[in-house]
Amino acid sequence: MAYADYAFYENIWHGEMQETAFLKWADRASMEIDRITRQQASSAPDSMVQRLQLCCCALADAMAADAALDADTHHGAVAAENVDGYSVSYHNKDNTGSRNTLLHNLCSDYLTWPVNLMYAGVQ
H or E segment and range at residue 60: helix 49-73
Least confident of 27-31, 40-44, 103-107, 118-122: 118-122
Task: Give Cα 44 to chain centroid, integer Å.
Answer: 19
Domain ranges of the chain: 6-110
Which pTM value belongs to this model? Answer: 0.83
pLDDT in tens, 18-74: 999 999 999 999 999 999 999 999 999 999 999 999 999 999 999 999 998 877 766
121 vs 39, more confident: 39
Rounded distance, CA 93 to CA 70, Å?
10
Rounded distance, CA 36 to CA 106, Å?
11
Q: Rounded mean pLDDT of the chain?
A: 89
Q: What is the pLDDT of residue 113?
A: 96
Q: What is the pLDDT of residue 7?
A: 98
Amino acid, single-letter form, for residue 94: D
Amino acid, single-letter form, for residue 36: I
Q: Which residues are bridge partners to 90 per DSSP? A: 78
Diameter of the chain by CA atoms? 62
Rounded distance, CA 44 to CA 52, Å?
9
Task: Give Cα 112 to chain centroid, integer Å.
Answer: 16
Query: Residue 112 pLDDT > 80, yes or no?
Result: yes
Rounded distance, CA 28 to CA 56, Å?
9
